[in-house]
Structure 1
């Protein structure tokens, strides 16, 4: 996201995207609802939408705002950016909370509410960064790999339980029926890994970035690639604190008046999948990094609880990764900063 958002927009276009169609609501800078129309969620619908919007503006700036709806809104968002328009991609949860108490709901109403959200928050909104095809490809490959690994575990885990506790004869019957599926899933995972490696090789600077990040003890290749996707290859618009907030390892204080003193806690509004990956990385680091192991022991002696210590380690690892990327120097376990020497 970029903070360089313009503040002289004449039109605010709210788009409510669904699988097959998308609704467009148009609001001017005075808050007047000018029009609404529904379009097919395909290339022809995109062009038709742009042609229809020409009725409402002849000059001045236009801001498009739409919810994150995963793959359903991807091509439309890319089309809008390709045409040179400013685009804001916002969380549906945020838009809903910003609307206050509302009654009634329809796709038409939602499109206008999105446009009005953009109008009311135009000084705070962050424009979506221009899409990167390589990062989108990497995200899709990693997501597919995760699905394949989940499907594989769904077969192999109960099969192992059946072998140990359900009887050898029953195990052999079920194993025979699942054998081809398991082998197919394993082959697909290997194929996906190969495609990911090829993508890394042909993407400028990506191989070197992966080598840098994976030099940090506990950060494996898959975790590194997920971090690259969600930091947009560690662009200048992100940092360790923002990433820690995203994955839910940054503490926030809860204080109000003279009676509310809940201390500092992590938020549940977080990317739990990434947090889980970092937890596994922290466990690996405790075993394989003497420095992290000593840090873990030190925090435990201080009386910190288990998950608090793990959270501290995750934060330390995230800070280390960003420092390594910033410096361009691989991680050195024995490195001691001059100020700490």
Structure 2
């Protein structure tokens, strides 16, 4: 098995091919990050006499810039692995590789694949990818609408020319209309796809998980990346992090706050409602507060509980039952 490390940026992709292990010969090349980059890398691998069925490409998820390569390689039958950037960096330090640049990172990724053999990446379905893109566009439009509304409010409070106010009003109106259109597209997409509709109904069976949180969790959990609810919670950055060592270091535990902040913010709002109306979540919150935990720390535990509930209903294919813990 040969391993190819691919360090991806917006404009270019550095690759490093290990043919005979980490101590063997390596071949490196730089490609332009463009829609057809997967085909070019495959052609280069064939020129190196590397069979696609004996090749694994290791990369990190770099925003959206890795998608052309990842989907192109997967569609061509080449195994793709998505490595955790933090683990790769720690792996490099463990190999005494302290230098960090694109060429070195590609080599480190190839070594990581050679020694760690990470699980193969399974891309989400076309329907889930479309839902994720629509949600991303909706969130961007929401920010634009709010930003324009703030500017319009300030314009009305100052001696702003009428032409500028008119421009802001037209911009705000267009953005609001476009946001409404995207919201309808999201609703139609989930309603018209039987699988997504059934999954969303399962998620909404959980008290305090409504359309907003349900769709976000649906797009996340149907990704196929996560094998447990704990992995999802860690990805969303709602797991506690401690910093304690000996008798002198007594750091306060805090939420890691890695991963997508938009999903985390929506889970936080859902948790505020859950501590009142969701019986298991309310019990966790009250128990932790009674033990002297800070209220925000208890809310973090409720957020994790909601993630576990969402993961559970999709895994078991059963609607949520608030009395399940009591009867189990």
TM range (shorter): 0.7 to 0.9
Corresponding residue for residue 241 of structure 1? 230
Residue 113 (structure 1) aligned with residue 103 (structure 2): no
1:222 to 176, 200, 212: 212
Partner of 1:323: 312
Match of 2:78 among 67, 79, 85: 85
TM-fit CA distance, 1:162: 6.3
Q: Which aligned pairs between 1:136-285 and structure 2 lie closer than 5 A?
A: 136-160=129-153, 166=157, 175-232=165-222, 237-252=226-241, 254=243, 265-285=254-274
Structure 1, gaps ≥5 residues long: 1-8
1:61 paired to 2:61: no
CA distance in 1, matches of 2:288, 2:107: 51
The one-character-per-residue Cα deviations of 1:113-158 (angstroms, maximum 9, x if unpaired) are 3222322333xx2221134222221111111111110111112235
Unaligned runs of 5+ in 2: none
Structure 2 Cα separation of the partners of residues 271 and 120 of structure 1:
29
Q: Which residue of 2 aligns with 1:127?
A: 120
Give the structure with the larger helix fraction: 2
2:25 aligned to 18, 28, 33, which one? 33
Q: TM-score, normalised by structure 1?
A: 0.81
Write out per-residue CA displacement over residues 242-285 of structure 1, whole angstroms, 9 at most, x where no aligned residue.
22222222235555567766586543444433222211111233
Alpha-carbon offset, residue 207 of structure 1: 0.3
Partner of 2:10: 19
The worse-fitting range, judged by mean Cα deviation, of 56-65 and 216-225 is 56-65
Scaled by the length of structure 2, what TM-score is found?
0.83
Q: Identify if the C-alpha distance between structure 1 residues 279 and 179 changes in structure 2 by more than 3 Å, giving closer, same or farther.
A: same
1:87 CA drift (Å): 0.9
Q: Distance in 1 between matches of 2:315 and 2:58?
A: 33
* Paired residues, number: 324
Contact 1:78 1:131 in 2 (8 A): no
- Is the CA contact (8 Å cut-off) linking 2:240 and 2:253 kept in structure 1? yes
